[in-house]
Amino acid sequence: MTNRTTLPAAALGAASVLLLAGCSGTTPDDAATDDDALQVVASTSVYGQIAEQIGGDAVEVTSIVSSASQDPHAYEASARDQLTIQRADLIIENGGGYDPFVDALIDASGADAPVVTAVEHAHDWPENAGHDDSADDATHEHEHGDHDHVEGFNEHVWYDPHTVEHVAEDIAAALSELRPDDAAMFEENLAAFSEQIAQLEAELAGLAAAHQGEGAFVTEPAPVYLAAAAGLVDLTPPAFSEAVEEGQDVPPATLLEALDVIASGDVAVLLTNAQTAGAETAEAVDAAEDVGVPVVEVTETLPGGATYIEWMQDNIRALATALDA
């Protein structure tokens, strides 16, 4: 995505000096820090929760975007975020232009922690030569500038459980490098997580077997990977979903084309991102409801109290209910 607002590196640096100068003693956040735990910082709670599941008691995780009420598209990094990144033992980002504030924070703070970048594990990431290399061989070196938005690539890779499994493998490998004594625990937690991913993929395969080739209208690209894994064909005019993703007005001709698609009878389900809703999205949802097309609402960030697996299970089952309606 290209419409995110970040605090420039110089401003972040100046703000952090002011923040440090204004602090006396230990802040509540500092007091809660376990000095023995590895400090893991994730761009969003999606990756933060996965890190918690893999790292167990050996990690303390901070997610920069941690609430469904926070819009990752417009997140403004703070001086506190810079300090958090500076103290990290491991950093997890989505990459692909989705969370560029992480790169800005790394550069501003001079952090040298290893970085796990989720998009690098997606099969259609341009730089990805496949998953033949062992995760143990990963260097996790951060290179600023490699994670810009790539035209035509859907960066919402957390909606692809297969990609997420590889991300979890990378997290386990990075944690094992940092804390070899706990490597067996990380591998055990990874194995349990992988079993849960397999269950998600089995549910998606079941949907694909029953609904292969049916049409989907997706107002914004976030759930496209999930729809594809369920065997659905994305019928959305690209200009519509791109405009919604970028926070721009949908051109009138494109909106008319989208409404025609929804009314055509070819759309089995409409998926919409609750965190990027706008007037044109609402019009598409209304049009779907008018012709009896079921609507499934998704989010970009983890609902409070849910694990990644529970969240994906809820999304898959909501999709199944809609398709079977």
Check if the beta carbon of residue 204 is closer than 8 Å to that of residue 159: no
Closest CA to 90 of 106, 114, 112: 114
DSSP sequence for 288-319:
HHHTT--EEEE-SSPPTT--HHHHHHHHHHHH
Check if the beta carbon of residue 183 is closer than 8 Å to that of residue 189: no
Tell me what pLDDT residue 127 has: 76
* Sheet of strand 38-44: strand arrangement: 59-65, 38-44, 90-93, 115-117
For residues 167 and 218, state if they share a domain.
no
For residues 71 and 176, state if they share a domain.
yes
Is 88 within a domain? yes
Is 4 within a domain? no
Tell me what pLDDT residue 129 has: 58
Going 248 to 249 to 254 to 255, the CA torsion angle's sign is positive
Q: Enumerate residues 6+ apart whose C-beta is below 8 A from 273.
A: 219, 220, 222, 223, 244, 281, 297, 298, 299, 300
Is 3 within a domain? no
Percent of the chain having pLDDT more than 70? Answer: 81
For residues 157 and 303, state if they share a domain.
no
Is 204 within a domain? no
Tell me what pLDDT residue 83 has: 96
Check if the beta carbon of residue 310 is closer than 8 Å to that of residue 194: no
**Domain limit, last residue, from 173, 199, 225:** 199
Give dist(CA 150, CA 128) in Å, integer: 13
Range of the domain at 100: 9-199
**Average pLDDT of every residue of the chain:** 85
Helix/strand/coil for 60: strand
Give dist(CA 295, CA 222) in Å, integer: 15
Give per-residue pLDDT as tens, 45-89. 999 999 999 999 999 999 999 877 776 767 889 999 999 999 999
Distance of CA 140 to the CA centre of its chain: 19
For residues 69 and 21, state if they share a domain.
yes
pTM of the model: 0.84
Give per-residue pLDDT as tens, 1-59. 323 233 343 444 444 433 333 333 333 344 344 569 999 999 999 999 999 999 999 99
Residue 173's pLDDT band (cuts 50, 70, 90): very high
**What b/e readout covers 102-137, taking b as 16+ CB neighbours within 10 angstroms?**
bbbbbbbbebebbbbbbbbbbeebeeeeeeeeebee
148 DSSP 8-state letter: S
For residues 221 and 193, state if they share a domain.
no
In the chain, the number of structural domains is 2
Residue 145's pLDDT band (cuts 50, 70, 90): very low
For residues 191 and 220, state if they share a domain.
no
Tell me what pLDDT residue 143 has: 52
Helices (H) and strands (E) in the chain, counts: 12, 8
Only one residue has tokens 């790394």, namely 106
Give dist(CA 285, CA 271) in Å, integer: 9
* Average pLDDT of the residues in 282-297: 97
